[in-house]
Amino acid sequence: MKRLALAVLLLSVAMAFGCDKTGRTSRTAGGEVNPAAASKGVRIADLPADFPKDVPVLKGATVKVAMSQGKRMVVHLYTSSSVADATRFYNDALRASGWQIESNSSASDMSTLSAKKGRSLCGVTVTKEGGGTLVRLSISPEGS
C-alpha cells in the first residue's frame, strides 16, 4: 500500500510541475516511428527513448506528458477508452508482459493498480478527464 501511495504522490507532484519545469521532455517535432510502438499507435517521438519495452501502451493513446527524473519515469496518456476499459487493458496487458499485480482499487471514475516485475515497479492511475480518460504511468526501479 505504501508503494501505491508513493506512486499516486509522485503522479500528483508530476502533474503539479509539468514536464517543462523538469527541463526534460521526450517530445520532438520528428515523427519517427518505433516499430514496436507503431502497432500501438504511438510515435517514438512521444515516448522517452528509455521507455521500458515491457510496459504496455494502450492502442490509440496520445502522449500528453513524458518526463524522467533519474531512473523514474512518468508518462500521461489520453485516450477515448472508458476508465473501465483502460483499467482492464492495463490489468491484463501487464500480467501478459510478466508483471505481478500487487494491488488494485476502483471507484466510479478512477482506478489504480500497482505492479512489480523483478526490481521494477509500475503504478497505473486511470481517471476520467473531459470526454476521455487519462492514464498515468509511473515506472521506477525498486528502492529508488
pTM, two decimal places: 0.70
The whole-angstrom separation of Cα 88 and Cα 144 is 28
pLDDT tens sequence across 118-142: 999 999 999 999 999 999 999 998 7
Q: Where are the domains of the chain?
A: 2-141
Residue range 2-141 in CATH 1.20.1290: no
pLDDT of 120: 95
Please say whether the beta carbons of 113 and 87 come within 8 A: yes
pLDDT of 143: 58
Closest CA to 136 of 84, 90, 85, 80: 90
The whole-angstrom separation of Cα 136 and Cα 122 is 10
pLDDT tens sequence across 13-35: 444 333 332 323 333 323 333 33
pLDDT tens sequence across 27-61: 332 333 333 443 445 554 478 888 999 999 999 89
pLDDT of 99: 97
The whole-angstrom separation of Cα 123 and Cα 133 is 16
